[in-house]
Amino acid sequence: MAPEVDLRVDRFDPERFPLTRARRKRRRSKVIPQTKTAQAFALAEWLHGDQYRKNSDEEALKIPYLTHLIDVMSLLIQVGASDEQLIAGLLHDALEDQPVTPDGQVTQMVISQMFGARVLELVEAATDGSAGESRNSNTWKSRKQAHLDEMSVHLKTDPQALLVPLADKLANGQAIVNDLHHVGPVVWDRFNATRDEVIWYYTSALAVFESAFGADHVLVGRLRRVVAAMTSQDQAK
């Protein structure tokens, strides 16, 4: 009979499960390490677990919002981002979408206490608008312009803080292009802005990222192609 499995990390004991000799030699610890990145993912799941992407109004087609956070972290891993940037990638929408945790804590304070001041700085650099600020068509343009202005400041003082926003814009932009390919211009109806305004924002952000990382940076190049595809695919429909 197979042993009863207790999946709690602090109770996991590899000795209870059969391992080959080679795997035993490679094993470094009897306890799965509680890395900061794992803690960040757990916090992200707690904050965003009930959210979905804007891809469809049909229940069966809704995509969990966590997929976007994972996409952003994946892009950051590909370019050798620091652990702090990876954590910020997982939490980059926390202040925007969940300024207060499910149990009533201030999310900003939770991030600072769990991961330190630098991670909080990186999350704030990726935050569009103020925590809890109204997000609708009346505030869209002013919020985006304010974020562009803030990124321009980081360009001069802390360009590495722009890597998470770059990965975020690339992940979101690619999702827009994919949806344009599948459903056409109706995609633009999901935004609190017009098609031209969205493309203006992505084009303006691209210019900031090119200045920060150079036109040859792999993520910058991919974002450039995504912005071009937004226009070409939309016009083709």
Average pLDDT, consecutive stretches of 10 residues, N- to C-terminus, the chain (237 residues): 42 41 45 81 93 62 87 98 98 94 94 97 91 73 95 97 98 94 90 95 98 98 97 64
Structure tokens at 20: 């080959």
Say which CATH superfamily domain 33-236 falls into.
Answer: Hypothetical protein af1432 (1.10.3210.10)
Q: Which residues face 106 on adjacent strands?
A: 100
Comparing CA positions, the residue from 210, 229, 212, 231 lying closest to residue 221 is 210
Q: What single-letter DSSP state applies at residue 80?
A: T
- Give the pLDDT of residue 56: 52
CB of 212 closer than 8 Å to CB of 162 = yes
Structure tokens at 66: 């966590």
Comparing CA positions, the residue from 144, 170, 146, 181 lying closest to residue 223 is 170
CB of 87 closer than 8 Å to CB of 119 = yes
- Give the pLDDT of residue 17: 39
Per-domain boundaries in the chain: 33-236
What sign does the dihedral 228-178-42-11 (CA atoms) show? negative
Cα distance between residue 109 and residue 91, in whole Å: 13
pTM comes to: 0.82
